[in-house]
Structure 1
C-alpha cells in the first residue's frame, strides 16, 4: 500500500480523476493511522464535527460492555493527527444516544447503559469542558430513549435539536421531540401519520425537511422505507424515489454533501454487514449506488474467526444489548435471567501488534460494518468505529467526495442490490 502524508488543506483540494474506474473506490478511500492514545473499540457511539475535529462520545463493545469517555480527533494537521481524551467527569457510561454540536457546545441526549434507558440532556462546552445537564423536571422532556436520531435544524435565528424514533420503555417509537437550543425547552411535536416506529435508522436535514431512511421495525426486522418531514408544517410524506434503491438496512450512516445524501454501510440482516455506498439526489429524487460491496481482507484468518466463535469468550455467551434485555420493571429494563454474565479471561479477536504505518494510507477501504458514525468536513467524509459480526472497530477512514462520481453508478450487478 502506498503511504502518504499530506497537509489537511492539500487533502481537501486534491483533484479527482473522474475517468478512474471508481466501483472499487480504492483511490478515494484513505485509512487514517495514528500513534499514541486512542479510544477503545466501540459501536453505537455518536460523533460530530467541530472546528475540523471529530468528537466521539460513548459507545458499546458487546464483550466489554458500555463505554465511557469523550474523545477528539484533530484533522487540522495531517502530519500530527492524533486522538485526545477530554477530562470530563460525571457523565458515566452510555451508548445508543445522540448528539449535535451548536456554538462550541456538545448536546448529548438519551442512550442506555445496557440496562436502563436515559432521558438525560448533557451540555458540554468543548472550550472550557464545563458540563451541565438539564433539570429532570424540565417541561416537555422526552421519556428515556435510545437508538434514536438527533439532527441540528437552524432557520431564521432559531436552532433546534430534532429527535426522532428509537426505543421508549423497551418498545420502538415514532415520536418526534424538539429541543430549543436557546431556551433549552423541550416539546413533543404532533404530526400526521408518518413512518412506523423504528430504531437504528438514519436521519439528515436538507433545507426545511427531515429525511428518515431505514432502521429496525417493531419486530426487529430491517426496513428500507424513506420519508421526509416538513419542519414548518410537521407533515410527513413517503418518498417514492427512482434509481438504484438501497436494500433494507439498519445501523448505517448518512451525511449531506451538496444536494446529495450519502449513506454508508449498515447491516441487512443478522451478521450481514455491508460497506456499499449510495447517494440520493434531493433535487432529482433518484438513488445511485456508486460503490459496490467490497471484500476487505480481515486482520484475522477464517480459522481464527471460527476458533473465536466457539471459544467460551464468544460474545454469544455474554449479556448483550437488545439480545439480553428483558421485561420492564418500574419503567426500567432488566437483564434477561436466561443469559448470564461470565467472568472469563479476556480474549480479543482483532487485537494485535500496533501498525508500524502512520499517516494516511491510500487505497484502504473500511470493512463491512454497522453501528459506526460518519461526519463531513468540506468534501471529506470520515468514518469511525462500528462493528462486524459483533466485533467492534476503532479505526478511521477518510473518503474524498466528488459530486460527479457519487452521482453516477459504479460498475455493479444491480441484481444484488
Structure 2
C-alpha cells in the first residue's frame, strides 16, 4: 500500500524517479524553484522561519552589506502552486539576525539574536492571527544571558510545552548550556545536564521522541564540527552518537528538519568560502546516515540565447560594440570571495565568515552570483536545486521541504525552493562511481 502511494506521488509530481537505482542522484529531480512576480523579501541569511496554517513566516535576518534586517514576511506554498510574498505589518522591534523562532498554537516565539551591536535575551511573541506582539523580558537568574547563533526547539510531553534553547554565543564565548522556557507559565529554567558536547554556534537541533538531537556547528577554535549528540529531555542526560553510514563532514549554518523517522540535513558551510548543497538523512530507528544528494554547482535557468539578447540590449547605441558606460554587459561571475573594506563595522564577537578579530565586516560592494537578466519564468522551475549556501532556513509542510535565503561567499539570496520528500529516495545511499 505504501509503495503504491509513493508511486502515485511520483506520477502526480510528473517526476520520473527510478527509486531502484542506487548510483543516480535522484534528488536533483525532486527540487523546484518557486519564482514569484511581485514584492518579495530582500536578500538575507540567518533569519528565522516557521510554518503555520500552511504558510511559511520569515523574520529578520542579515545582509552582510546592509546589516541586520527588520520585518516579517509570509508566503503560502502548496504542492503545485504558490501565492505571493506578503510583508506583514507588525510592531517594529528593530533589526535582528541570528535569533531563533518556534511556533505553538497561533503564537510565534522569537528569542535572542543580535542587531549587529548587541545581543538580546528577550522573547518577542507574535500573534499570527492579528500580528499583535508583546515582549517577555528576562526576570530571574535562571534565564539565558544575551545569546545569538543558538538553536530553539519546541518540546511537548502531553501536559506542557517548552522552548528548548541550546548553545550559541553567550558572554563572549560559545555556550553548551541548555535552557527551557515553559510556554504555559512563561518562566525560564537552566537545565542541569550530564557532561555533553563542547560549546558551539550555528549548529542544528531537532526534537524526536523526547530527545533533542544536536549536529555540527562551530567550536571555540573556529573548527567545523561533525559530532552528533542526543539529549534525553526527561533525564537531561547527554549521549554522544556514533552513527553508521555516510556521516556528514563538519559544517555550520546548515538546516535540519524532521520527516517521519528521519532527520534531513541540507547545505551549510564546510569552511570559509566553502558552502555546500549536499543532503543527508539520519534514520532515528536504524541510527544510519545516508548521503542522498551530492554537492552540485548550479547555474541560473536563463538560456544562452536569452543572455546574448540581454547583452545586446545593454550595448550603447552611440558606439556600436562598446558597452554603455552606465550599463556593463552582464557576466556569469566567478564564485570568488568579496573584497572587504573596514568602512562599516559592527563590533561583536567572531561569527562564521567574519574577521578573526571579531569585527563584523561589511563588503565594500554588493555582489550576487548572477548579474544577467532575470529569468522570464514565473512559477515553478523543475529540477532546479538551490545553490550551495549557509544561513538559510528550511521548514516542512506535509511532504515538501521549503528552503529560503541564505548566502554564499557573503553573497546573500532571497530565493525559494521546495523539495519533494520521497521516503525511498532519502533513505537510499548514493554510490560514488
TM over 0.5, shorter chain: yes
Q: Kindly state the Cα deviation for residue 351 of structure 1 after the two structures are TM-superposed.
A: 5.6
Q: Describe the shift of the 1:353–1:315 C-alpha distance in structure 2 as closer, same or farther (beyond 3 A).
A: farther
SS in structure 2 at match of 1:90: coil
Unmatched runs of 5 consecutive residues or more in structure 2? 1-8, 302-329, 351-355
Q: What residue is the counterpart of 1:267 in the other structure?
A: 269
SS in structure 1 at match of 2:271: coil
What TM-score comes out, normalization by structure 2 length? 0.83
1:115 aligns with 2:117: yes
Aligned match for 2:422, one of 395, 402, 407 = 402
Which sits farther off after the overlay, 18-27 or 68-77? 18-27
Q: Kindly state the Cα deviation for residue 348 of structure 1 after the two structures are TM-superposed.
A: 5.7
Q: Describe the shift of the 1:315–1:13 C-alpha distance in structure 2 as closer, same or farther (beyond 3 A).
A: farther
Q: What residue is the counterpart of 2:375 in the other structure?
A: 355
Does the CA-based 8 Å contact 1:62-1:320 persist in structure 2?
no
Aligned match for 1:211, one of 213, 237, 248 = 213
Aligned match for 2:69, one of 53, 67, 70 = 67
Q: Kindly state the Cα deviation for residue 369 of structure 1 after the two structures are TM-superposed.
A: 0.4
Which string of whole-angstrom CA distances, capped at 9 and with x for unpartnered residues, describes residues 85-105 of structure 1? 110122110000000000110
Work out the CA distance in 2 between the residues paired with 1:85 and 1:249: 32
What's the C-alpha RMSD, in Å, of the aligned pairs?
Answer: 2.8
Q: How does 1:325-364 map to 2 (within 5 A)?
A: 325=348, 350=370, 353-364=373-384
Q: What residue is the counterpart of 1:140 in the other structure?
A: 142
Aligned match for 2:222, one of 214, 220, 223 = 220
Does the CA-based 8 Å contact 2:290-2:427 persist in structure 1?
yes
1:48 aligns with 2:50: yes
What TM-score comes out, normalization by structure 1 length? 0.86
Which string of whole-angstrom CA distances, capped at 9 and with x for unpartnered residues, describes residues 227-248 of structure 1? 0000000000000111011111
When the two structures are aligned, how many residues end up with a matched partner?
390
Q: Which of structures 1 and 2 has the bigger CA Rg?
A: 2
Q: Describe the shift of the 1:224–1:339 C-alpha distance in structure 2 as closer, same or farther (beyond 3 A).
A: closer
Does the CA-based 8 Å contact 1:12-1:379 persist in structure 2?
no
Aligned match for 1:243, one of 228, 241, 245 = 245
Q: Kindly state the Cα deviation for residue 25 of structure 1 after the two structures are TM-superposed.
A: 2.5
Work out the CA distance in 1 between the residues paired with 2:369 and 2:250: 29
Work out the CA distance in 1 between the residues paired with 2:10 and 2:377: 19
Which string of whole-angstrom CA distances, capped at 9 and with x for unpartnered residues, describes residues 248-299 of structure 1? 1111100011100100000111111000000001001110101111111268
